[in-house]
Structure 1
Amino acid sequence: MKQLVDLSTWSRQEHFTFFSAFEEPFFGLVAEVDASQAYARAKSLGVSFFQLYLHSALTAVNAVEALRYRIEDGQVYRYDQIHASATLTRPDHTFAFSFVPYAASLTEFGVGLTAEMEAVRQSNGLRLSPATARPDVIHFSAIPWVTFTGLTHARAFAHPDSIPKISVGRARRQGEALLLPVSINVHHGLADGYHVGLFLEAFQRELNAGAGTVG
């Protein structure tokens, strides 16, 4: 479900108008979160680290209202729930797009993720579809080969886009911490650095504790 935002009373109306006129309205940053507890929890639960941190990231996105805004036909809508359109890899090192529905339960979320991973393995090409092109998603990618400190995205500026883009890189050990690089890019008409900070705080909380239920 989604609700139309009344631009005439919205506190971000001028911000939205200003940045929406830019050829590149997105801004992004890279930060690190400590995934040591999450990595240990994934091992103890017998689930993949990828499943756990993707679920944590998606839970954090849903906790930040600004990351649930989308621009459609010049209007701003607030979605009740956001899912994941993640790039998933094949054994031949190509990738494809996916649609993974959000679920508070880590186990239920894992069922959808596993099904999409298998569908990608059995397919060819990018798997472009109405499901992977839905607006109520985040674009998510994992780059486990590189501990990156910066990241850019291929973008078609002529194509309207307001979907947040989140990428996670290779973790590195620093003492007892397992530091995970996270890149997040958002439309500046919908969100600011403050909201990105809220996401990173929520992501860290989820990695530490996991507010979503396991079963």
Structure 2
Amino acid sequence: MKTPSDGAIKIELEQWPRQQHFQFYKNFTDPYFNICVELEAESLFNYSRLNNVSFFNSYLYLAMLAANDIEPFCLRLIEGDVWLFDKINANVVQLKEDETFRFSYLEHATDFNRFCTSSKQAFELAKSQPFFSEQFYSTGLACNCLHISVLPWLSFTSFSHASNHSEYSGIPKLVFGKYNKRTGIMPLSIEVHHALMDGIHVAQYVARLKHYFDNASKYL
């Protein structure tokens, strides 16, 4: 993984308040921890339906906005150093008709309509290419992003990822589950690197995401 040349600031560990926490967790065999929460998504679901916009695009967009608001979600571990990125994008899993998946790369945007247009293009491009494509190698290995998956068929209370921790980049991994129309609840799995953040930061992210869900008309 290459050291970033722009769009990122190197954290001076000696002045970083969690420097000792970083040193403690960074060499763990598995330094990631996972929290599953029940998102109250009824407000966003109803807004999306009434305004004829994609519920899927809506929560993807707001998940990215929330990540860019919470500084620890913008931190990455690269070659032993911690870097703070000024923009976090997303690699999102797309399912093809043959039940294989591809990764689509979505740029961070602050305009929902523009995001919907670019995401449609990204989804179509990803599905048109083989799994190991030029796009996979150019964007699939980027670290200034979230990894987002969706399991719209399942409501879950725990989740674990296939993992390769040879390089602990610290990319947060989000998995959205099945939205329950009766309860208005949608499960969300959040996996993050403990050397870069703690439970309080995940709680801050969830609170920010809930704010966006509850006030969708202001942001979509």
Using the size of structure 1 for normalisation, the TM-score is 0.94
> Which of 164, 167, 185 matches 2:172?
164
1:56 aligns with 2:62: yes
Q: What is the Cα deviation at residue 119 of structure 1?
A: 1.0
Q: What is the Cα deviation at residue 21 of structure 1?
A: 1.1
> How do 1:203-214 residues align onto structure 2 when only pairs under 5 Å count?
203-210=209-216, 213-214=219-220
Over 3 Å counting, the alpha-carbon distance change for 1:172 and 1:213 in structure 2 is closer
**Large movers: runs of 4+ above 4 Å:** none
> Which of 129, 143, 149 matches 1:141?
149
Two-structure CA RMSD over aligned residues (Å): 1.4
Aligned to 2:53: 47
Residues 97 and 126 in structure 1, CA contact (< 8 A), matched pair in contact too:
no
Residues 24 and 195 in structure 2, CA contact (< 8 A), matched pair in contact too:
yes
Question: 2-side partners of 1:201 and 1:60: how far apart?
Answer: 9
Over 3 Å counting, the alpha-carbon distance change for 1:115 and 1:136 in structure 2 is same
Aligned residues: 212
1:130 aligns with 2:172: no
Aligned to 1:119: 125
1:30 aligns with 2:36: yes
Q: Which amino acid aligns with 2:137?
A: S
Residue 202 of structure 1 aligns to a residue whose secondary structure is: helix
> Which of 176, 186, 203 matches 2:192?
186
Residues 27 and 186 in structure 1, CA contact (< 8 A), matched pair in contact too:
yes
Q: What is the Cα deviation at residue 186 of structure 1?
A: 0.3
Q: Identity, % of aligned pairs?
A: 28
Question: 2-side partners of 1:95 and 1:75: how far apart?
Answer: 32
Q: Which amino acid aligns with 1:164?
A: P
Q: Which moved more, 1:83-92 or 1:185-194?
A: 83-92
Aligned to 1:95: 101
Q: What is the Cα deviation at residue 112 of structure 1?
A: 1.6
Residue 130 of structure 1 aligns to a residue whose secondary structure is: helix
Question: 2-side partners of 1:27 and 1:80: how far apart?
Answer: 24
Using the size of structure 2 for normalisation, the TM-score is 0.92
Residues 89 and 108 in structure 2, CA contact (< 8 A), matched pair in contact too:
yes
Residues 47 and 216 in structure 2, CA contact (< 8 A), matched pair in contact too:
no
Question: 2-side partners of 1:130 and 1:212: how far apart?
Answer: 34
Over 3 Å counting, the alpha-carbon distance change for 1:39 and 1:118 in structure 2 is same
